[in-house]
Amino acid sequence: MTTSEKTSLRTFSFGGGWQSMAALVLAARGQIDFRTFLFANVGNDSENPRTLRYIEKFAVPFARANGLELIELHRETKHGAETIRQRIMGTGGRRQTIPVYLGNGKPGSRVCTAEFKVQVTGAWLRAHGASPENRASVAMGISVDEIGRANPSKAMPYERLIYPLLDLRIRRADCPGIIRSAGLPVPPKSSCDFCPMRKIPEWQAMQQQDPERFSRACEVEEAINMHLASKNKPPVFLTRTGRPLRDLFKAGTQISLFDTDDEGCDSGWCWT
């Protein structure tokens, strides 16, 4: 290992979920060699509000108490900060950004992870010295049961992707115990409020337990479809059912809740 590699940046990409919090605990104990955790917040109007509350109430104080840095980042443009919801709603649905489902149930293209996670973190890394000649070591919270999502070849030129939970043979199911052992509650699953990767039972739970939040997700789908309708294009959906989200759980609607097909974000950026 060269001197420059020894002194290069070492950061953990913090998603706010089980694996990230377990990694924070492991770092506090010296079991993984990371002191800087980067949380790319896609927007206070876009992230799961329970995740944001958990990070503020538990993750940040825990990191501070244990000499770790948990740094919150935001996407910045020449017009100021931008969130995913602002982009979609502010363009009348024209810039859909998220991987909505087509009428045939297939997911469309997505740029949310690349533009609101990868690029945001990359900007911080480069500003702090990362380069192709001095690549940062960037850890992802992928656990053993998700080993298929570990892909070092997806690294940007200024980074080297590594997977410390794999080295420790930690599974997702192990993470709650690790978190609780530090006296912390287990965080909720992290993802955008309107992420199409959410499963049908999760949508139903949101509709029943937090109808205002559910309605805001419906607004995103409706804004995108209003734009598509103005272009005489077929609608898209936040689920693979081919039905509007707002109508999905109305009385008399028949829908299978056994949605086990895991399309998932395969990069490890969002749900860890």
229-249 pLDDT, tens digit per residue, is: 999 999 999 999 999 999 999
The percentage of the chain sitting over the pLDDT mark of 90, rounded to a whole number, equals 83
Q: Please report the pLDDT score of residue 74 as a whole number.
A: 97
Q: Please report the pLDDT score of residue 79 as a whole number.
A: 87
Specify whether the CB–CB gap between 236 and 102 falls below 8 A.
yes
Give the torsion sign (CA, 207, 209, 212, 213).
negative
Residue 2 clears pLDDT 50, i.e. is over it: no
Query: 211-240 burial string, b = 16+ CB within 10 Å, else e?
Result: eebbebbbbbbebbbebbeeeeeebbbbbb
Residue 271 clears pLDDT 80, i.e. is over it: no
The pTM assigned to this predicted structure is 0.91
What CATH architecture does domain 3-192 belong to?
Answer: 3-Layer(aba) Sandwich (3.40)
Please state the domain extents for the chain.
3-192
